[in-house]
């Protein structure tokens, strides 16, 4: 049981790095923000909390896949851009994450 607890703790801590990497990648695609920097920070904290809660409460791969894609798309809505740009950037950002999870 302690090994599982350790795994979960490490995974939740590594999700901080993953969330920051997503922030950097979104910054590559979008330069203009619709909200303040504090608002963007709050959105990423909410993203992190939701992903961690889902990982603990419902660690089902299809649920995590769907939640990640939807939440990434929601994150892009806080930046100025077209629907097509949001969709393409969401898929580009999520693609390496899928490869990391399943390899």
- pLDDT for residue 101: 55
Total domains present in the chain:
1
Which has more confidence, 68 or 100?
A: 68
Q: Residue 103: what pLDDT?
A: 46
The label of the residue with tokens 């892009």 reads 76
Domain of 68 in residue numbering reads as: 2-102
Which DSSP category does 34 fall into? S
Residue 76: its pLDDT value, please?
Answer: 92
Q: Model-level pTM?
A: 0.82
- Max CA separation in the chain (angstroms): 47
Residue 96 has pLDDT above 60, yes or no: yes
- Rounded distance between C-alpha atoms, residue 66 and residue 82, angstroms: 22
CB neighbour list of residue 44: distance below 8 Å, 6 or more residues apart: 19, 22, 23, 75
For 22-75, write each residue's pLDDT tens digit: 999 999 999 888 989 899 999 999 999 999 999 888 888 888 889 999 999 999
């Amino acid at each position: 049981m302690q090994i599982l607890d350790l795994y979960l703790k490490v995974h939740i801590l590594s999700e901080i790095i993953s969330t920051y990497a997503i922030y950097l990648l979104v910054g590559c695609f979008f330069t203009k923000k619709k909200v303040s920097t504090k608002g963007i920070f709050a959105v990423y904290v909410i993203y992190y909390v939701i992903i961690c809660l889902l990982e603990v409460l419902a660690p089902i791969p299809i649920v995590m896949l769907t939640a990640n894609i939807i939440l990434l798309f929601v994150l892009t809505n806080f930046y100025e851009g077209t629907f097509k740009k949001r969709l393409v950037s969401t898929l580009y950002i999520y693609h390496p994450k899928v490869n990391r999870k399943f390899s």
